[in-house]
Amino acid sequence: GQQLNQSPQSMFIQEGEDVSMNCTSSSIFNTWLWYKQDPGEGPVLLIALYKAGELTSNGRLTAQFGITRKDSFLNISASIPSDVGIYFCAGQLVGGSNYKLTFGKGTLLTVNP
Amino acid sequence: NAGVTQTPKFQVLKTGQSMTLQCAQDMNHEYMSWYRQDPGMGLRLIHYSVGAGITDQGEVPNGYNVSRSTTEDFPLRLLSAAPSQTSVYFCASSNPGTSVTDTQYFGPGTRLTVL
């Protein structure tokens, strides 16, 4: 099935550093989503992107929908310990619907205080 | 407003046993989906429903059955559990549309181990 290539797989950073992660696909998506999953919990939506080129912020988080519609990135500025978790990108294919998302394999973020 | 709830939170089964994972949502969402999460694999879609009485297969449907008799509930049934079904299962719900409020909301998950 369709897969999203998410990188990096894991990151170990110091508190205060900025973080960047991205997702790429061979297919075109009409929606890109970024979720965060805390241990023992379900994914929680961070940012949703609906237009190519769109740049959206949510506090210290910024995400962009790539111009080619085949990629997206998420930046976290000035990381804090509570940023620890797994970050997933998810996409909705053209002609698809929001009940049928394709997920990346996740980026595990560890923040050292 | 509880959102999406799942029960049980943990379950251990023996190979061949059957069970039902429960999912309920109180947001009046039309769409509901079941995903499984395995280490290093992200989330993969098992089954989904676009409304009461309507279900369809996702990417990895084998070994699972679903039904949607009400808008609120979407149970996932394992008819004969296998070790390969050891995973964390997430239920999600959403409404049709292309705004932030229409995106999928996830439950807390059910952690299933099949021995």
In sequence order, what DSSP letters do the residues of B68-102 get, joined into one string? -SSSSB--EEESS--GGG-EEEEEEEE-SSSSGGG
B84 pLDDT more than 70: yes
Categorize the per-residue pLDDT at B103 as very low, low, confident or very high, splitting at 50, 70 and 90.
confident
pLDDT at res. A100:
79
Tokens matching residue B104: 């999928």
Look at residue A71 and tell me whether its pLDDT is greater than 60.
Answer: yes
Of residues B42, B45, B102, nearest to A104 (C-beta): B42
Nearest-by-CA chain A residue for B102: A98
Q: How confident is the model at residue B100 (pLDDT cuts 50, 70, 90)?
A: low
Mean pLDDT to the nearest integer, A51-68 = 95
Query: Mean of the pLDDT values across residues B96-101?
Result: 70
Write down the pLDDT at residue A83.
Answer: 96
* Pairwise CB contact (< 8 Å): B108 & A50: no
pLDDT of the residue at B101: 67
